[in-house]
Chains A and B, each alone.
Chain A
Amino acid sequence: MYSKILILRFPNTEVQKPLVCYLAKDYGLTFNILKASVLPRREGVMVLELTGTKKNFNLGVSYLKEQGVNVQNASQEVNRDNDRCMHCGACTAVCPTGALSIERPDMAVNFDQKKCSVCAMCVPACPTRSMGILPTTETFF
């Protein structure tokens, strides 16, 4: 099973078409709509989590793009600005998963992105504001 959170932007010409419905009907994908709104100029914005086989997922995303829908990956990750980080350790007070930890005896602060749950608690807790939250840049389709 393959699953991603996507941001879909519908041009005002397409906003009235039930495009998302076809993702289930024609491509066997399930979706969970997290947010949907129609903006004042009638463009639609929808955030949804799309799940299915990787092949069908890619076909479904291609279908949306053919219909003129702009598709963006909404998944995020926490990054550290290693030049700004002063290795104090203040972030370790709030990190719930141990992704930020202190290496002893050197006392350097390690950031293991694999353990990070993207809760973002470290972002305002960092005195030098070295932790940032960014969309993942990898293209997946």
Chain B
Amino acid sequence: MNTAEWINTVEYKELNFARKSLVINPAKACQPLGAFFAAAGFEDTLPYEHGSQGCAAYFRNTLSRHFREPFPAVSDSMTEDAAVFGGRANMIEGLKNANEIYKPKMIAMCTSCMAEVIGDDLKAFISNAREAGSIPKELPVCYAHTPSFIGSHLTGYDNMLSGIIEGMSEGRYKEGERNGKINIIPGFEPHVENIREIKRYMALMNVDATVLADNTESFDSPVTGEYVMYNGKTTLDEAGDCVNATATLSMQAYSSIKTLKAMKIKYSQKTEAFNYPMGIAAFDRFLMKVSEITGNPIPASITHERGIAVDAVTDAHQYLHGKRFAIFGDPDMVMGLAGFLMEMGGEPVHIVCSNGSTKWGKEMEALLASSPYGASGKVYAGKDLWHMRSLLMTEPVDMLIGDSHGKYIARDADVPHVRIGFPIVDRVNLHRYPTIGYKGVINLITWIANSFVEDMDRRSDDAHFELLR
């Protein structure tokens, strides 16, 4: 047997799953990418990486390729001398330049692994920079240590968000007082239109909501003939006042563990974590929770919208029912996807989450157990796309759902690949469509059902190439 055949076998799969140290094609990035992503949601905020410059270039490239938008951010370009003496001098010079050239209202600082390994102390260095006159006393510099050898981009998102809230809310928490608002954390959200959708629903329900962090415009801004550098839509005042909200809801539990904990324990808020509520039922639950917390009813206009989505669901269920799916991506996103698929009668079979923990694995298994359509589902926490390849080749499915990196294995397995997640770098505009909410349901069905139909059309012989599908 030649190697090309051998790598498709059960024997190879066993060898592949026996590996202990080598990681091949993981669907996860490192912390500071998520930190940059979160920072971009705040008003006039400059993301700043303390560490090697190459990392900042990589994060900017990666974000720009997915969203096809500019991503301004700086680093303080630490090199060999900083490795020996620490990066204090780089930060003192870097903050001065960043502030005077790019005039931010806030600097959101994270670290590369270089700075973490040598043990640079951000709090002390920022304070040194102020003393040295690099930046004015009043310029907020929020920070988060974001070592890339712990967690993933989701951890970095959470750490940076939490760092920004801590920094901006200093002295603003009023114990026992509530400002009547709720906070919503979208999480690391590659489909930024979802954030606009959430805001739209909150407006329909007359809920005064603060999105933490609202980076819709940073990742989807108009061409006007002028370049606008800062597009974060969460104001610094909101970032400071959010600790006084009634409640904080997170759309992605695993993007917001630390932040939610602080909201609950330190700021005595009600907190609720969702797992990327895709599908009708999951979004119903989200809206009902918002209604329960705020006391505001769900208006008839939303019920009407829901009805239209359910119409799309019933119209198209036949294209998804009984189909076998392999899905991969961030932990909450795959939970959301699995929930949606099962609701449609589809069967999630292989569920791979490179940055999923054991705890996540148990929750995912419980979700599968909640539906008869989850019976053939198996959960692979901490596995990568080379594991997924073995799964696809030995236990075939009908479709792969995940980011663009899945395209190689979808081709090998000869199945259609619907792109959801991060990064999507080989298709245009998908970040401009919601995947949650009732419109999100319609989009998901459109992409998935039509991919099946297109695939069928391509494969059909003349006799079976029918007009009606």
Q: Do A and B bind each other?
A: no
